[in-house]
A and B are shown apart, each in its own frame.
Chain A
Amino acid sequence: MQSHSIRQSPWLFGFIGAAVLFVATIIVSRGGGASATFHAAMAFSIFSVLVAISQMLVITSGPGNIDLSVPAVLTLCAYIGMGVMHGSNAWIPVGLLVVAAVGLLAGAFNYAAILLLRLPPIIATLASSFVFQSLAMNAGGDATIKPPSLLSAFTSLSVGPVSVLAVLVVLLTIGLAIGLKRSLFGRRLLATGQSEAAARFAGIRTRQVRLISYAGAGLFSGLAGFLLAGFTGGAALNMGDTYLMESIAVVVLGGTSVAGGQANAIGIWGSALFFNLLTIMLNSFRTPVGLRYLLTGAIIILIVTAATRPLTRT
């Protein structure tokens, strides 16, 4: 733990990459647009970070745990939230509560399916994502319901170049990082993720821990949907699509182990900023969308190859 070389902290790659891209953007645009670039990257990273937090909670709870229902829960909650509020500012608190409840229930449903039907998490969350998608389609109806004006204003409110929502999500991330390290639940979650059998012998109610982590994942996905719908002016059926693969990539490149039991909340911000800056930069160069995907994929593979030390996997 004494020598903090980059190999020991692979999650720093995200922050370093983000910084390099940021500087590159400033140089290319000759100093202009730095503030706008930073602003846009922060704004889009908020949602990447929220879905990544969901995915992190699930991935940390053990090997093979992954939540494929993140986009479906996000979309479902966006539609239900917008439907409940119906554009009225007074209903925002109710909308938020309903969305939180739906998200928690969706996550709990996932874990119930895993536990009761003894399904692998990938399959259970895949099947339930189909169900949530249908529910979202039914909740949606035909017309797009506009978000309440206050919610829209709040999601894009900023003081100078800093988005208020981004600051809140940064605080949330820091809180989660501390919580995972210091709180009883955080320690229990990490222990469960490292070895469920050992954790159970140590007296941890591992089922309860995993239930909470899945429900928490649903909660954050739902929250992301609620805010994203406010930010983009309404819910859309495909609004969550890009977030499935992105949430996994951001979490893992942020330093969370796919094998479970090791989480890194702060690292999520690094890789989220990195990916969003990359998109913004390539967009500003008018790079063909195909090349953008190609580069994103190549970078994911490069980083994971560089950051993973061989022989860490058993």
Chain B
Amino acid sequence: MSEVVRPPPSVGIGKKRQPARRAGHRMNPDHLQLALPFIALVVMLVVIFAIRPAAFSYFGFGLLFNLAVPLILASMAQMLVICLGDIDLSVGNFVGFVTCVVAVFLRDKPFIAMLLLAAGIVAYAAVGVLIQLRSLPSIIVTLGMSFVWLGLALLILPSPGGTAPDWLTATMALQTPWIPLPLVIAVALAAAGHWLLKRSAYGVVLLGAGANPRAAARAGWSLLQARIMMYGTAGGLAVLSGLALSGLTTSGDPNIAPTYTLLGVGAVILGGGSFTGGLVSPVGTVVGAMTLSLAGSLLSFLNVPPVWQVGAQGVILFLVLAGRVFIGRSGR
């Protein structure tokens, strides 16, 4: 795992390796890498609580991280695809499609809704099959799919509206004892993701299929099966993301989540992942997604004028990732 801090090959090739300056009693750079988004998250929370001490409460945490839940799920979906060395440009529009299906069908015609959502997951797996069998660049196929999902969503629900079923809204507003629901979900997802991908036997095979497909294939593992697993699970997570989002907004909107696609990519990379394949961290991705969704709240707490908020989010992304570079440098 010493490869984790290797810079992306497109920029780092030929760069002289810097010798470890104070080797010995240093934290494992692996762990530092993981700690970075976590540190950013804690710093942001401290700033927010310093400005509004009242936010440091059960309800405060709940409100701050409510909208993080769908983003975490979409980021985990993106993570699985990035793990194979691919990228998914369609996940944001797929989440929008799911919210439309939920808002139009789930309350009155649950069977049709289930059928459509299941078809969505199958379509995700089919995209994986197509990419694997025809050796297609994932970026173009998923770009095409992003138009397909947007189109389907607009056909189902031409303008934002509809109603999410009450049980879904109630689930998202559930008051869990002691720890607010969004945090419970975040921890559960991180733990499940870590266990399934990093600790289970087949999870390690999937990581290997991403890191070195040829070696995995030579060792007798089916790359087709790996892509079906990863894309299918990604589709499932994206469906959950859409369910969570429509539970929170109580309605559907084809254009609600296009930003999830790239924010998800940001969360994966922020969490220590890399595009080279096989190098992703479920825990890091969850923390990365929470950091990105908290950045918006932080900026409004800081009274950053609305016109600068987007830009400040970009600057935060730059700053956190710049920290990664310095860790990578000194940790060698």
Contact = CB atoms under 8 A, between A and B. Distances in A.
Q: Do A and B bind each other?
A: yes
Contacts of A249: 140, 143-144
B143 A248 contact: yes
A156 to B, nearest CB: 29
B310 A294 contact: no
A122 B87 contact: yes
25 contacts: A63-B10, A64-B8, A114-B11, A118-B8, A118-B11, A120-B269, A126-B265, A131-B315, A133-B314, A134-B310, A138-B308, A197-B13, A245-B143, A249-B140, A252-B137, A258-B140, A289-B158, A290-B153, A290-B155, A292-B151, A294-B147, A296-B151, A297-B149, A308-B137, A313-B137
Most-contacted residue by chain B among A249, A295, A305 (CB, 10 A): A305
A154 interface: no
Interface stretch (B60-68, B128-136, B181-189): B128-136
B280 interface: no
Given A258-B140, A313-B135, A127 B318 contact: yes
Nearest to A121: B10
A294 B152 contact: yes
Given A123-B269, A297-B149, A312-B135, 6 more contacts: A127-B321, A128-B314, A138-B308, A298-B148, A304-B141, A310-B133
A22 to B, nearest CB: 22
A200 B7 contact: no
Contacts of A1: none
Contact of A297 (B134, B144, B312, B315): B144
Nearest to B313: A130
Interface string A282-313: 00000011111111111111001100101111
A115 interface: yes
B322 A117 contact: yes
A123 B154 contact: no
Interface SS of chain A:
helix
A118 B314 contact: no
B310 A300 contact: no
Contacts, number: 172
A108 B102 CA distance: 44
A242 to B, nearest CB: 11
B150 interface: yes
B147 A304 contact: no
A310 B135 contact: yes
B248 to A, nearest CB: 24
A137 interface: yes
Interface of A: 62-66, 68, 113-115, 117-123, 126-135, 137-138, 196-197, 200, 245, 248-249, 252, 258-259, 288-301, 304-305, 308, 310-313
Nearest to A196: B13
B311 A133 contact: yes
Given A115-B11, A123-B266, A123-B321, A311 B135 contact: yes
A80 B313 CA distance: 22
A289 B151 CA distance: 7
Contact of A305 (B10, B130, B310): B130
**B: interface residue count bin:** 35 or more
A135 B311 contact: yes
A138 B307 contact: yes
B257 to A, nearest CB: 15
Contact of B8 (A120, A127, A133, A308): A120
B33 interface: no
B303 to A, nearest CB: 15
A51 to B, nearest CB: 15
Contacts of A292: 151
B328 interface: yes
A254 to B, nearest CB: 12
Contacts of A311: 135
A290 B140 contact: no
B144 A304 contact: yes
A301 B144 contact: yes
Contacts of A129: 314
Contacts of B314: 126-131, 133-134
B125 to A, nearest CB: 15
Interface in B1-49: 7-8, 10-14
B318 A117 contact: yes
8 closest A-B pairs by CB: A134-B311, A130-B314, A297-B147, A294-B151, A290-B154, A293-B151, A300-B144, A297-B148
B317 interface: yes
A288 B158 contact: yes
Contacts of A299: 144
B5 to A, nearest CB: 10
Contacts of B14: 197, 200
A289 B73 CA distance: 29
A299 to B, nearest CB: 8
A289 B154 CA distance: 7
